[in-house]
């Protein structure tokens, strides 16, 4: 089987969703470290800011990762379609 064309929009939707999930995971880890850091430093005047940054990471990172993943996957799928038209595509063996 040879893949000669990829549906750019469907590929970008799937990739954007996967990148958003990765952003959620990274945001959760970053949030955990930010909240631990804010809670363990005594007399920290920036404690509230650190905790806000931690919570904001859970919201902001999935949006950024998903959006950037969607855009670059859309570009990549379009470029693949152009190049596959010139060289013939990618051959895949399936059982």
Domain spans, the chain: 2-91
pLDDT in tens, 36-64: 877 777 776 766 777 777 778 888 899 99
Q: How far is CA 32 from CA 20, 43, 46, 58, in A?
A: 18, 20, 16, 10
pLDDT in tens, 71-88: 999 999 999 999 998 998
Q: Average pLDDT, whole number, for the chain? A: 87
pTM: 0.80
How far apart (Å, rounded) are the C-alpha atoms in residues 70 and 93? 28
Residue 46's pLDDT is 67
How far apart (Å, rounded) are the C-alpha atoms in residues 62 and 21? 6
Report the candidate in 45, 67, 65, 68 with the shortest Cα–Cα distance to residue 57: 65
Neighbours of 38 (CB within 10 A): 18
How far apart (Å, rounded) are the C-alpha atoms in residues 33 and 71? 29
User: Which residue has better confidence, 34 or 84?
Assistant: 84
Categorize the per-residue pLDDT at 22 as very low, low, confident or very high, splitting at 50, 70 and 90. very high
Rg (CA), the chain: 20
Task: Name the DSSP class of 91.
Answer: E
């Amino acid at each position: 089987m040879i893949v000669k064309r990829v549906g750019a929009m469907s590929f970008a939707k799937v990739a954007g969703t996967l990148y958003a999930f990765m952003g959620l995971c990274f945001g959760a880890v970053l949030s955990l470290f930010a909240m631990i850091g804010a809670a363990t430093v005594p007399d920290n005047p920036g404690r509230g800011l650190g905790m806000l940054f931690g919570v904001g990471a859970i919201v902001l990172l999935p949006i950024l990762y998903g959006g950037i993943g969607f855009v670059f996957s859309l570009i990549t799928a379009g470029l693949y379609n152009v190049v596959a038209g010139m060289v013939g595509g990618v051959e895949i063996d399936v059982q």
